[in-house]
Amino acid sequence: MKDHVISAVDLLQNEIVTLLQEMIQIPSVNPPGNYDEISHYLEKKLSHYGFVVEVLDVPESLVIEKNLSTTRKNVIATLKGNGTGPSLILNAHLDTVPEDDESKWTQSPFSGHLENGKIYGRGATDSKGRLASYIGAALAMKQAGILLNGDIIIAATCDEETGGELGAGYVTSNGLLKGDFALVEGYSQEIIRAMAGVKQLRIISNGKPAHSGFKWNGINAIEKMAKVITGLEGLQTELKNEPSSIDGMKYTTINVGVITGGTKSNVVPGSCEIEVDLRIIPEHSIDYIINRIEAMIQHLQDEDPEMNITIENGEFETVPTITEPNHPLIIALQKASVEVNGKELPVIGVMGQSDSRWFIQNGIPAINYGPGTPANRIHGYDECMEVEDLINTTKVISLFCLNVVGSEISLSEGVR
């Protein structure tokens, strides 16, 4: 049965490569997020492959509420099983980051050019390469004549690059996408089982403007903010001594990324603002870290009554997510990796985030794995996907699907 599936992937190699090239050639840059053409392409292509396909439009009211200028679409394609086993979602996103300065690309960012075993273009890895691999793995199961106990569901969702709220967030939170397990875009050299929480803050120092020659008549908001920044640095030092137990994750981080304040050098600044990004390990909670920041600032204000500091929420927040290291999903993927490559993969956590959080928060266990490595210049010029990695990873994912939802082989179908 396994040999049938792997042989099917080999026979599908040209189809998978062409699929990726054609998706790259359909720009879906976000912002602004133009999904009409790519969703129409996938609807037609996946229907041709034998999937049951739905294109789900996000309600216009939600799009307007988010001040977005284009429609949001999510493509859900299903290979139906017999209903006796768990259903598996394979999720990658439709959108890409902008191509930036096209003149700095060796190949056109939307060419899908194939050269020296690499496919070039924006989204070649992130995440159209992952999507091509997921579709190829599911198609290999079908081509090999595997009878499925559960459904294999391809979820090509929008807006991951801007948080995924109207993509994976919308379809999972509203019950439009249901399944027992999810595999979400990732890298081929590792299994990601945990991701940091993210919390963004605006911290504002309120002072009193005055002429710099009469500084005593004012309250310098920047100088007061300097104390806050020093306090955050001290808290960061404390957090370094509270490391995560998960490989790949170090400790909760506090990053002061933006600072603004003052009007002229001869004016005592009446206000100063910093924007802070927190990356929070699973051993901590968002509330725990916020409480420590608030306590530190309150202590500073108690020492200096002229300090007037307020804290506001930033634009983004998500809790840490974690899947246990012995979860059946990880066991099934490790088994597939051994069957294809003769070795298990490192199981790690990362300090970034992905759409896996939407699945986990809505009761669907999820891990991250897919073709590509950080060396593929994701988000950079000449983003690419190595064909060898694309096909090899598709083999791993196809056997992973077999381990999760497969039943017996239908000898009447075989590999076509």
Q: What one-character-per-residue DSSP string does 260-320 give?
A: EE-S-TTEE-SEEEEEEEEEE-TTS-HHHHHHHHHHHHHHHHHH-TT--EEEEEEEEEE--
Q: Are 269 and 222 in contact (CB under 8 A)?
A: yes
Range of the domain at 174: 2-195+320-409
Domain membership flag for residue 394 = yes
Domain membership flag for residue 416 = no
- Domain-terminating residue out of 266, 294, 318: 318
What is this structure's pTM? 0.92
Tell me: pLDDT of 109 over 60.
Answer: yes
pLDDT confidence of residue 1: 84
Q: With left for phi above 0 and alpha for psi between -120 and 50, is residue 367 left, alpha or beta? A: beta
pLDDT confidence of residue 227: 98
Q: How far apart are CA 402 and CA 87, in angstroms?
A: 11
Q: Are 283 and 322 in contact (CB under 8 A)?
A: no
**pLDDT tens digits, residue range 343-356?**
999 999 999 999 99
Domain membership flag for residue 202 = yes
What is the CATH classification number for the domain harbouring 367?
3.40.630.10
Q: Are residues 31 and 120 in the same domain?
A: yes
Q: Are residues 250 and 335 in the same domain?
A: no
Q: Are residues 188 and 253 in the same domain?
A: no
pLDDT confidence of residue 210: 97
Q: Name the helix (H) or strand (E) containing 230.
A: helix 221-240
Q: How far apart are CA 143 and CA 281, in angstroms?
A: 42
Q: Are residues 14 and 159 in the same domain?
A: yes
**Backbone φ, ψ for residue 314 (5° rounding):** -85, -165
Tell me the chain's radius of gyration from C-alpha atoms. 25
Mean pLDDT over each residue of the chain, to the nearest integer: 96
Question: Which whole number is the average pLDDT over 310-325?
Answer: 94
Instruction: Count how many domains the chain has.
Output: 2
More confident residue, 415 or 207: 207
**pLDDT tens digits, residue range 6-62?**
999 999 999 999 999 999 999 999 999 999 999 999 999 999 999 999 999 999 999
What is the CATH classification number for the domain harbouring 234?
3.30.70.360
**pLDDT tens digits, residue range 297-309?**
999 999 999 999 9
Q: Are residues 258 and 186 in the same domain?
A: no
Q: Are residues 146 and 10 in the same domain?
A: yes
pLDDT confidence of residue 315: 86
Tell me: pLDDT of 416 over 70.
Answer: no
Q: Name the helix (H) or strand (E) containing 4.
A: helix 2-11
- Domain-terminating residue out of 259, 284, 318: 318
Whether residue 127 has a cis bond before it, omega within 30° of 0: yes
pLDDT confidence of residue 406: 86
Domain membership flag for residue 16 = yes
Q: Are residues 236 and 303 in the same domain?
A: yes
Domain membership flag for residue 280 = yes
Tell me: pLDDT of 78 over 70.
Answer: yes
Q: Are residues 181 and 226 in the same domain?
A: no
33 HSE (CA, 13 A, CB side): 23
Question: Which whole number is the average pLDDT over 366-388?
Answer: 97
Tell me: pLDDT of 413 over 60.
Answer: no
Q: Are residues 99 and 152 in the same domain?
A: yes
Q: Are residues 343 and 304 in the same domain?
A: no
Residue in this structure with the two tokens 């974690």, named with its chain if needed: 322
Portion of the chain with pLDDT greater than 70, in percent: 98
Which DSSP symbol is given to 219? B
**pLDDT tens digits, residue range 252-272?**
999 999 999 999 999 999 999
Going by C-alpha positions, the residue among 27, 29, 28, 32 that lies closest to residue 66 is 32
pLDDT confidence of residue 407: 61
Q: How far apart are CA 157 and CA 170, in angstroms?
A: 9
**Backbone φ, ψ for residue 398 (5° rounding):** -65, -40
Q: How far apart are CA 38 and CA 36, in angstroms?
A: 6
pLDDT confidence of residue 222: 98
Q: How far apart are CA 198 and CA 277, in angstroms?
A: 7
**Backbone φ, ψ for residue 359 (5° rounding):** -70, -50
- Domain-terminating residue out of 289, 318, 347: 318
